[in-house]
Amino acid sequence: MNALLEQFLSESRDFLQGIADKLMQLEENPNSTELMVELFRFVHTLKGNSGLFDFPEMTRVLHASEDLMDAVRNGRVHYSQELADQLLEAMDFVGILMDEVEGTGQLSNQHSEVSAALAQSLRALIVSAPEDSIEIGSDAISILLESSEISIPKTNVTAEKPTLNLPEEIAVELYRTAKSGDVVTLLEYAPEAECFFKGEDPFFLVRQIPDVLWREVTTLNNAPLAEMDAYSCQLIFRVITTADVIELRELFRYVPEQVNFKTLEAASFILPDGEKEEDALQDEFIASALELLNKDDTATLIRSTETMLGLVAPTLWFSSALRWLLIILECDAENQALKRILIESLHTFELPNLTNLAAEIVVEKSPVEEIIEKSAIVLSEKDHARFDMIMKSQRDVLRLPNNNNAVFVGRLKAVATTLKGCCLALNKNSDAVEVEKALETAISENSSEALLTWLANYTIPTEKTVEIVESEKMVKSEQDVEKLIISPEKETHDSSLIMPNRRAEDNAPASKTLKVDQEKIDRLMNLIGEMVVAKNALPYLANRAETVFGVRELSREIKAQYAVINRVAEEMQDTIMQVRMMPVSFVFQRFPRMVRDISRKLGKEVHLVLEGENTEADKNIIEALADPLIHIVRNSLDHGLELPEIRKAAGKPAEGKLLIRASQESDRVLIEIIDDGKGINPEVIKNKAYEKGLIDETTLERISDQDAVNLVFAAGFSTAEVISDLSGRGVGMDVVRSAVEKVNGTVGIESEVGKGTRLFLSLPLSMAVTNVMIIESNKQIFGVPMDMVVETVRVPFDQIQAIKQKQTTVLRGKIVPLLSLNELLAQNIDQIPNEGNEFATLIVRIHGENVGILVDDFRETVDIILKPMAGILGGLSGYSGAALLGDGSVLMVLNPRELI
Amino acid sequence: MKNILVIDDAATVRLYHCNILISAGYHTDEAINGIEALEKALTHHFDLYIVDINMPKMDGYEFLKELRSKDIPQAPAIMVSTESAKNDEMLAYNAGANLYLVKPVKPDELLSFTRILLGEGI
């Protein structure tokens, strides 16, 4: 896949997410114009991006969405739920297309139907808006029909061979205009079928044509109006005008390939029309008329024609031809051939020769084209049009009024630079010098007149161009002169000359974010972790230097150096942590849509509140969080929140509230999911757990309500009677718990029947480097994760009491159960107290409860990289992993949660 | 080497334009909105600007007005938009654009206009 496509996909997904977010926010705040404008911008940019690729199905839907949002933004269409649904559906479709593009690198052609249907339903929303309907197609035609003297011809005129079907009066008028010296141009404009989707308005464009003599609109292949597809343009506009072709080209500059210009000769309008019936007087008239023509007796011919005209029915072709004859005699009396042809045609009712004359078409040349021809540079038609377009644009710029002097002068300079560029591109360096002069005049006069004049003169090709063709050598010498003229000017812009040199150093890419493969970051992270461990070797070394080799001096120096390395390593570690940090919004952002869809499906009304979305945590943690959170939210929606009727009956507002809140507590992220639903009934849980054999009868009787509620986390527990397709997928909350614990997190639940449930997850900010406390027991050292350690105390032997064969102590007024580590590790040795007969006790927090672990002694805390146990040792759940210490020894890290 | 500043909030469009220009041997720089573009324009020399209209913070019109009001060498500016509306075009000219093109600008079209505006031939 090429880089552009990759960029497109990645950026577009952001936009899709952005659109979904904005729509959700709009739901809360349907009148926010700010949101609408932003939403429009997203859709607009997305459409613009898709236009770079050949994904017509995608672009079509996006274009329709953009038009819809434009209408919403401008207040033409009211924002509604239905509208949001439609847009979301459209964006989902776009997302599916993107998936396909991402997977296969292209789009199959099976989407066009869906795409068309979506676009149509989106557009239907625009059209169905009450005011300012922008329905195009048949509407436009009917307006056109009313507003001008046009007709849709009934004869079989094909699009390929357009024959003008002018009423005689108009033809006569056109003929007279053409004869009077005006250039009469026929403009044929066949907008492309997709033009309505490109923001084009052909009807508007046609109405902009000045000096219209006649115009008509026909349909492609003469399709009846009723059968036309209102979304595709199948119209052909024909306009006869005396307007300058240059002006017309400018008007149609965006659709040059869809317009055709023809200069019409006066004779082409002579098209007698009428019933082709023989008349008794016909032959006699022709004979006498030809005789008069030969004698060049115009006066008698006119009289005889007028007499004849009085005798024949005016609807006949013969009569029409006679009227034309009169007009020709009046306007073009010298043209013997034309008169003869017309008179002779009265025999046959055909005008063969004249149609040939009429077909003589001269294509108007634009001024630029002429210049170019004469300066002997071969330009393609496209390039002509481009030069032309640039010149026209500069004229438009120069004609604008001076509203702001600074901008005005800047504009003049920019126009001059542009024009100079054109001149140089055409190898007409002398003209560039003239532009420079005109600019100086313009700036000193504070008026664009000088440049406009230059432009006006430039477009009229005169001797100037001939000069160049005749004397190529002259150009060369002129170039030299020009260099002399330009060089002092360049000195004044000294800075601009220096800058390109400077650029070499500071051409850093503009983008401020850098997308890096996560693997690279992970590798960096591992390396830094290893370095953290390696640096830990230094204190050992210092120790050895002093004790083994007795070099105290060196020991001190090593320690000093260690301090420096330690600081740098810590900073590096912090920085790389920062790189890996992601806001929880990464997970949260999918909730609005999800909650909306699910609650719709279930017929529940839910108000979702997200808090603390900017709270950050390590990428791995955030990613590990996604699935459990989704599961929890689904559960809350499915089992927690009640249907509106039930809520009302319970005296609660019909709309349930779901709060998802993230916050940071020291080095942990706390995520709470709080609903105000029916809560968890401990009795139901107890019975269920008993039924499933999770607890025995004695526990059933003794278990506290809180413990009962906690049973939802037990493996193989699922409370819903019916496994719905939402929450129940054969997995229960135990999956949530294990997923959270995998990243050293904890999960808890609090619930009150009838009031609601609060689930909370506590997760470490980062998981790459673990801070552990080293403890000693039975001459071995072990690590205990610091995030579990509440405190370390030394409990005097006489304060340890036995309650029901279990050792306990009272700590700050609370009973804390005590367990011996040796016992937990199945080693039949008593813990060793210190000299004061006190036991080193590690208070750890497990499932919300404090437990004391008796050990032999405490050591320091260290940062380690915890490697999970693999292979056979992987089954030892009592250990969460092993780590390498600075002196090269291995530290086993305990997992008290499993151990106890 | 001629230096061209491509200003667009959409990274895809920037990449698209830059790819075309770079492949033709131009040096390009990018800006994601008018503010960033203006900062660059005031500190670096550019021979051409390719400006999107609809951008957050500072749109293309505002940027061009600011640019044109500064006393620096004024390079030509091509405004690119998805709309072919006469009104937008006049707004673009009023702001200081020299050319108004409708997106997506085809590669040969972009290069042809660039060469003309930079005076390098056809």
A-chain residue closest to B64, CA distance? A407
Residue A310: exposure state from Cβ atoms within 10 A (0-12, 13-18, ≥19): exposed
Whether the pLDDT of residue A93 is over 50: the answer is yes
Q: Which residue in A201, A393, A398, A405 has the most chain B C-beta atoms within 10 A of its own C-beta, making it the best mutation to test that interface?
A: A393
Q: How far apart are CA A653 and CA A639, in angstroms?
A: 17
Q: What is the mean pLDDT of residues B98-102?
A: 89
User: Would you tell me which residues 172-211 of chain A have a C-beta closer than 8 angstroms to some C-beta of chain B?
Assistant: 198-200
Q: Is the peptide bond before B104 cis (omega within 30 degrees of 0)?
A: yes
**Are A410 and B67 within 8 A, CB to CB?**
yes
d(CA A252, CA A788): 75
Reported as a single tens digit per residue, the pLDDT across A22-50 is: 888 887 787 787 888 888 888 888 888 88
Q: What percent of chain A has pLDDT over 70?
A: 82
Residue A356 scores a pLDDT above 70: no
Q: Domain B3-81+94-106: give its CATH superfamily.
A: Response regulator (3.40.50.2300)
Tokens representing B8 are 């667009």
- The pLDDT value given to residue A247: 82
What number is the average pLDDT over the span A548-571? 87
For all residues of chain A together, what is the average pLDDT? 76
Q: Is the pLDDT of residue A282 over 80?
A: no
Q: CA-based angle A432:A433:A437, to the nearest 5?
A: 115
Q: What is the pLDDT of residue B4?
A: 92
Task: Write out pLDDT tens, residues A131-161.
Answer: 443 344 444 444 443 444 333 333 333 333 3
Cβ contact A411–B121 (<8 Å): no
Q: Residue A758 in 3-state DSSP?
A: strand
Higher per-residue pLDDT: B113 or A292 = B113
A4 close contact with B: CB closer than 8 A: yes
Write down the pLDDT at residue A223.
67
Amino acid at A67: D
What architecture is domain A3-127? Up-down Bundle (1.20)
Which of A18-22, A417-421, A656-660 has maximum average pLDDT? A656-660
- What pLDDT, on the 0 to 100 scale, is given for residue A659? 92
Tell me the DSSP string of B4-38.
EEEE-S-HHHHHHHHHHHHHTT-EEEEESSHHHHH
Domain-by-domain residue ranges, chain A? Answer: 3-127, 138-269, 282-358, 381-492, 518-572, 584-764, 770-899
The answer to whether B36 contacts A198, with C-beta atoms less than 8 Å apart, is no
**Could you tell me which of A162, A766, A838, A247 has the C-alpha nearest to residue A522?**
A766
Section A872-878 average pLDDT? 78
Pairwise CA distance, residues A441 & A435, whole Å = 10
Highest mean pLDDT among A523-532, B3-12, B18-27: B3-12
Q: Least CA distance to A489: which residue of chain B?
A: B73
Strand partners, A756: A752
**pLDDT tens-place string over residues A450-499:** 888 888 777 533 333 333 333 333 444 444 433 333 333 333 343 333 33
List Cα–Cα distances, A409 to A413, A447, A457, A695, in angstroms. 6, 9, 22, 87
Please answer yes or no on whether B116 and A41 come within 8 Å at the CB atom: no
Residue A789, Ramachandran bin (φ over 0: left; ψ between -120 and 50: alpha; else beta): beta
Of all residues in chain A, the percent with pLDDT exceeding 90 is: 2
Residue A359 has pLDDT above 50, yes or no: no
Minimum CA–CA partner of B62 in chain A: A407
Q: Indicate which of B26, B49, B116, B120 best probes the interface with A, i.e. most A CBs within 10 Å of its own CB.
A: B116
Please answer yes or no on whether B90 and A400 come within 8 Å at the CB atom: yes
Q: Is the pLDDT of residue A597 over 70?
A: yes
Interchain contact, B118 vs A41, CB within 8 Å? no
Rounded (to 5) percent helix, strand, coil in chain A: 55, 15, 30
ipTM over 0.95 threshold: no
Q: What are A80's two structure tokens?
A: 């509604």
Residues A876-896 pLDDT 10s: 778 888 887 777 788 899 888
Strand pairing category for A581-583 and A616-618: antiparallel
Q: Between chains, do A48 and B103 touch, taking CB under 8 Å as contact?
A: yes
Give the minimum alpha-carbon distance from B56 to chain A in angstroms, rounded to a whole number: 9
For residue A236, give Cα distances in angstroms to A90, A131, A580. 32, 28, 60
Q: What is the pTM of this model?
A: 0.43
Residues of chain A with Cβ-Cβ distance to B9 below 8 Å are 45
Q: Are B11 and A424 an interchain contact pair (Cβ–Cβ within 8 Å)?
A: no
Greatest CA separation for chain A: 151
| CB-based contact A49 B10, cutoff 8 Å | yes
A174, with CB counted inside 10 A (0-12, 13-18, 19+), is buried
Question: Which own/partner contact pairs does A326-333 have at CB distance under 8 Å and 24+ positions apart?
Answer: A326/A302, A327/A172, A327/A175, A327/A176, A328/A270, A329/A298, A329/A301, A329/A302, A329/A305, A331/A175, A331/A176, A331/A179, A332/A179, A332/A266, A333/A298
Q: How far apart are CA A592 and CA A596, in angstroms?
A: 6
Q: Each residue of B42-91: pLDDT tens digit?
A: 888 899 999 998 888 888 899 999 898 888 888 999 999 877 666 788 88
> Does residue A590 carry a pLDDT above 90?
no
Residues A757, A749 contacting (CB under 8 angstroms) = yes
Token pair listed for A20: 């979904």
CB contacts < 8 A (A, B): 168
Q: Are A593 and A20 in contact (CB under 8 A)?
A: yes
CATH of A770-899, one of 2.40.160.50, 2.40.50.180, 3.40.50.720, 3.40.50.300: 2.40.50.180
Q: Which candidate in B15, B50, B106, B109 is best for mutational testing of the A interface (most A CBs within 10 A)? A: B15
Q: Per-residue pLDDT for A355 more than 70? A: no
Token reading at A385: 């049009």
CA A242 – CA A250 distance, rounded (Å): 15
For A710-728, the pLDDT digits (tens) are 887 776 666 544 444 444 4
Please state which CATH number belongs to domain A584-764.
3.30.565.10
Element (H, E) at B40: helix B34-43
pLDDT tens string A600-651 = 888 888 888 888 888 888 887 888 888 888 888 888 888 888 888 888 888 8
Q: Which amino acid is at A85?
A: D
